Amino acid sequence: MTRLQDLMQLKPGMRVLDLGGQPGIWNFISTPLHITILNLPGVAKPSTPESIHNFDFVVGDACDVSQYEDNSFDVVFSNSVIEHVGGDEKQAAFACEVRRLASCYWVQTPSIWFPVEAHTGMPFWFFMPAFVRKRFIRNWEKKLPDWTQMVVETTVLSKAQMQNYFPDGSILTERKYGFPKSYICYRN
């Protein structure tokens, strides 16, 4: 979030659209902002702890934010959401909305090259044989069906896919222990 604040040159009162987020992450930003958080029904948490920010909560689909006109916001922010919206068509629609709604954006997604997969917590998840992953999925479905559905429906993007969806943006690779942890596509 410090990198976001620095690279995006956040100024007091800027209008930010957070696609799929929660208010807690904004506690790491010291510049008071007007933040609209858009989530699917039942996900938005309209109660906020004391904050320097002003929050609005909106129910909607991040792949179709037609209730807002072009450039309605100063910045669009999204942290680990694009991989959850669906396949290529939905991800492309998400990216179009991000780019349409603000001239500046910050979209982060996890990297498959990080040794521990972000959604499952499993080491080398994407490098396991498909039959091994399916066995884990079958076991998880019995105990954690909703969570398992989220894992199955997650489509992690490559760095090249991110650049394709955001051709006017720059890519920043977040690293941990030397491994690419996530990709951030941004335009400031």
What average pLDDT does this structure show over 7-21? Answer: 96
Annotated domain spans of the chain: 2-114+154-187, 120-153
Q: In the predicted model, what is the mean pLDDT of residues 74-84?
A: 96
Distance CA 158, CA 101 (A): 24
Above pLDDT 90, what percent of the chain?
79
How many beta carbons lie within 10 A of that of residue 126, not counting itself? 13
Given this model, what pLDDT does residue 118 score? Answer: 87
pLDDT, residue 44, reads 64
pLDDT at 48: 64
pLDDT of residue 144: 92
Contacts 24+ apart (CB under 8 A), 174-178: 174/108, 176/114
pLDDT value at position 45?
A: 67
Lowest mean pLDDT across 42-46, 53-57, 105-109? 42-46
User: Is 2-114+154-187 in CATH node 3.40.50.150?
Assistant: yes
- How far CA 157 is from CA of 36, 37, 92, 111, 184, in Å, comes to 25, 23, 11, 7, 11
The pLDDT, as a whole number, for residue 172 is: 96
Q: Give the amino acid at 177.
A: Y
Contact of 5 with 186, CB cutoff 8 Å: no
pLDDT band per the 50, 70, 90 thresholds, residue 63: very high
Q: Which two tokens stand for residue 25?
A: 């992450």
